[in-house]
Structure 1
Amino acid sequence: MQLAIPITGTRGDVQPYVALGKGLAAAGYDVRLVTHDDFADLVTQEGLDFAPMGGDSRALHAEYRVRRMMKAGSNPFTYLREFARLRAPIMTRLMVEGLSACRGADLILVAPTAPLVAISIAEKLRVPVCGTAYLPNCPSRHLASCFVPELPAWVPGRSFYNLASSVFIAANLWRLLRASINRARREALGLPPFGLLGPPLRRWLHEMPTLHGYSSRIVPRPRDWPDNQYLTGFWFLENQGWRPPPALERFLSDGPAPVYVGFGSMQNRDAVAFTQLVARALKRAGLRGILATGWGALSELSAPDRVLAVRDVPHSWLFPRVSAVVHHGGVGTTAAGLRAGVPSLLVPFFGDQFFWGRRVFELGAGPRAIPRNELTTERLVDGLKSCVGRDDLREQARRLGEEIRSEDGISRAVDAVGEIVRRSKRLSSGNGFWA
């Protein structure tokens, strides 16, 4: 059986699907990952078929574009507007390239960064779809959307707020993307436009089975989710056989376990100043640090004997060897920090990063998150001291790490796909959804 997974975004968006695809391939499925050109090696090195879609990810997320998104902070409406601005100009290209790449697929897995692209392609090819998510995206009375603040339990109307927030976020994103989606459906696929309200909500939310790639220990399954929502556990990509450069090995062995500081695909207008802030905080806290420069949030500025700058090190290898992790709150980095069993300090920039910051704090695995636009040297020093000095945080992080390491999210997801296929021999006509 051939599976296609169209996915756009940064490496943090794509890597969980490489892990999932690898697990599906090991179970006997033919898996094609359809994504940006600069992730071709990441995909093919894990033995998966690659097809290009959407050009170069780093060019798409160029600094001036992401800078607008980062200004959104915790404002979901500004964030969604800037997300739509990134996707709208390339929507027709996504559908043209995605259509070519998905031909021959028996099942299309829908990723959260390009859901209506995948659904439209599936409709054109008349193949079924299975939703996927690495954060909760099914409306519930017990859980608000990841993009809005949570209300305290004592606030009247909390259940209505929770349910309405997910519907409202989805409706707002559809409003922003409607014109580009419908134009691309017409020009690239020869399909009629979705209606004013988008795809039929009942089918989108309740009839499409969805795999949720995160741990129920971190976000418990809401009681009112339908049975076709599968909560599997995190999808980790194991970097077996990776060898660290000698400089990194020497740094780790030359002193106490350092703190990891890295912000993935995030970017800063003045990376040097931001790096100096981090270095000052580490020095004042009396700690050594490994700074991951990523896509440019941090520079390669370093202090002899105290700080080592690296570009890209697998989290699964490095995090168990550090005393704490400081990061932006992307779900992949959050999951890796929790699995390593060390305290995490989150510095969210925008979007669902604030949600994961709240979860880590509420679970007792790290201090309260510090929003990027509120970060100061003093606040970072306090957060670092909490991570390395509070026994309660360290013990809770250790316990959570043990629990997450005992889960096998990939195997559960593979089993769920098999169940979905077995249950769904009969397909609805012409729209790509399971009957």
Structure 2
Amino acid sequence: MNITLIALGSRGDVQPYVALGLGLRRAGHAVRLASHDTFHALVTGAGLEFAPMRGNVQEVVNSPEMRAALASGNMLAINRVSARATQQGALLWAEDGLIAARDADLLMAGIGGMNVAQALSEKLRVPLVEAHVVPFHPTRAFAGAIFPPGTARLGGWANRLSHVLTRQVMWQMFRAADTRARREVLGLSPAPLLGPRPLRPLPTLHGISPAVLPRPADWDAAQHLTGYWFLPQEAWTPPPALEAFLNAGPPPVSIGFGSMTTPDPQVTTRAVVAALARSGQRAVLLSGWGGLSAADVPDTVFVTDSVPHDWLFPRVAAAVHHGGAGTTAAGLAAGVPNVVVPFFGDQPFWGDRVQRLGVGPAPVPRRALNERTLADALTRAVTDAGMRDRAAALGARIRAEDGVTRAAEVVSGLRL
């Protein structure tokens, strides 16, 4: 089949679909991945065909409006900023998507590209397989990924309802932009109030390890929990300075918040450095999009923009991160304790899951991040022998899975 994958967002949103694309190509399919120009090298470097989708997510994330919304932790404020960005991008994505999907037999997309893909599916009469890295099908077993974990205390009915509402929140945020793109670019009528209807029922893929999130008993046979979608680990040579730092003492912790931004990166960095001193830990500090500061850090802290997680995380005593789905997957697969500092969205969900699995301390919400809270979490993560053992055992189970191959098998079994 000719398959077009649509993946929009940050690197953590896109990389799993590059891995999935590689698996589909190995299974004999022709794969084109549509994403932002920022990820051209990532996609083509993996040997996949790239189709550009205009827009720069990093500019949106680093805008004053989004920084303020993220600082508040208010999902409604975050959604308002995101909705304005989608209003600007929807027409471009529809235009670019028509080119990307021009000869496709099958479209595939997760949350980031799903609304665009649904409209393209309707326009081109090409079926769509939803492929998610967060749980996105109703269940009584746990709450929707953007709902507070405490929702589960209300019972299974509340959990199931929260999944329906999660999909509606994401759809209603995009609906006005979708209507405009349908009318002005695709020549389609507006989608129904509660969202587009699929062209035909097809399986849904969830690129999540069943060792991390057991398959809910009330999911139907069309829901596939395949295991994580990881890129093959490649040889990576660290800068000599990083290698020297790692060899100069006990394993450090890794601290980085990926594409998340903070209102004042220097204040955040000072709190992190103070927490390291209080807990007696060395650290590799990954500055990321948030621009954690390299100024005035002691020689027990090594600051770098980014390091491949599958190389770094197995070499650290604990991984501190924002709890994005991709970063959490890499942290758990490394077999080390994870300390989650959730900002918004599905990140509290993964932080709660890490704690429930006993492979990390209680999450430290970004608004509660300070010298004491982070130091306490770090101390627990690096001194709790039971936690280290559980993390190592979970990592081994995850590494034994092959989510990419399993997902490709499901797709190859489709009769279109």
Bin the TM-score by the shorter chain: over 0.9
* 1:23-422 pair list within 5 angstroms: 23-73=23-73, 75-151=74-150, 155=154, 158-200=155-197, 203=198, 207-301=201-295, 303-419=297-413, 421=414
* Identity across matched positions, percent: 46
Cα distance change, pair 233–72 in 1 and its aligned pair in 2 (3 A): farther
Q: What displacement does 1:388 show?
A: 0.6
Matched-pair contact (CA < 8 Å) for 1:60–1:86: yes
Superposed CA offset, 1:265-314 (max 9, x none)? 11122111211111111111111100000112412235343010011110
Partner of 1:22: 22
In 2, are the aligned partners of 1:65 and 1:86 still within 8 Å (CA)? no
CA pair 49-152 structure 1, distance change in 2 beyond 3 A: closer
Contact 1:238/1:316 (8 A) holds in 2: no
Tell me, yes or no, if the aligned pair for 1:302 and 1:309 is still in contact at 8 Å. no
TM-score, normalization: structure 1?
0.92
The 3 A distance-change label for structure 1 pair 374 and 209 is same
Distance 1:152 1:88 in 2: 31
Q: Distance in 2 between matches of 1:78 and 1:224?
A: 33
- Residue by residue over 1:179-226, the C-alpha shift from the partner in whole angstroms, topping out at 9 and shown as x without a partner, is 2111101111111111222223xx59x923211001111111111112
For the residue of structure 2 that corresponds to 1:207, the secondary structure is: coil
How far apart in 2 are the matches of 1:178 and 1:253? 52
Q: Is the 8 A contact 2:133 2:206 kept in 1?
A: yes
TM superposition shift of 1:153: 6.2
Report the 3-state secondary structure (helix = DSSP H, G, I; strand = E; otherwise coil) of the residue aligned with 2:355: helix
- Alpha-carbon displacement from aligned partner over 1:325-363 (angstroms, at most 9, x marks no partner): 101001111111111111011000111000000000010
| Whole-Å separation in 1 of the counterparts to 2:297 and 2:35 | 38
Deviations 1:394-415 (A, max 9, x none): 1111111111111111111111
Q: Residue type of the partner of 1:35? A: S
Q: 1:62 and 1:303, CA in 2 relative to 1: closer, same or farther beyond 3 A?
A: closer
Deviates more, 1:171-180 or 1:338-347: 171-180
**In 2 relative to 1, CA 38–231 (structure 1 residues): closer, same or farther, beyond 3 Å?**
same
* 8 Å contact from structure 2 (residues 55, 89) kept in 1: no
- The DSSP-based 3-state class of the residue aligned with 1:114 is helix
Distance 1:137 1:72 in 2: 25
In 2, the alpha carbon distance for the partners of 1:302 and 1:132 equals 43
Q: Which amino acid aligns with 2:84?
A: R
CA distance in 2 between counterparts of 1:378 and 1:415 reads 48
Gaps spanning 5+ residues in structure 1: where?
426-435
AA partner of residue 175 (structure 1): Q
What RMSD over aligned residues (CA atoms) do the two structures have, in Å? 1.7
- Would the alpha carbon gap of residues 398 and 302 (structure 1) be closer, same or farther in structure 2, given more than 3 Å must change? farther
Distance 1:284 1:154 in 2: 35
- Give the gaps of 5 or more residues in structure 2: none
> What one-letter code is carried by the residue in structure 1 that aligns with 2:305?
R
TM-score normalized by the length of structure 2: 0.96
Q: How far 1:54 sits from its partner (Å)?
A: 2.6
SS at match of 1:265: coil
SS at match of 2:111: coil
Distance in 2 (CA, whole Å) between partners of 1:346 and 1:178 is 32
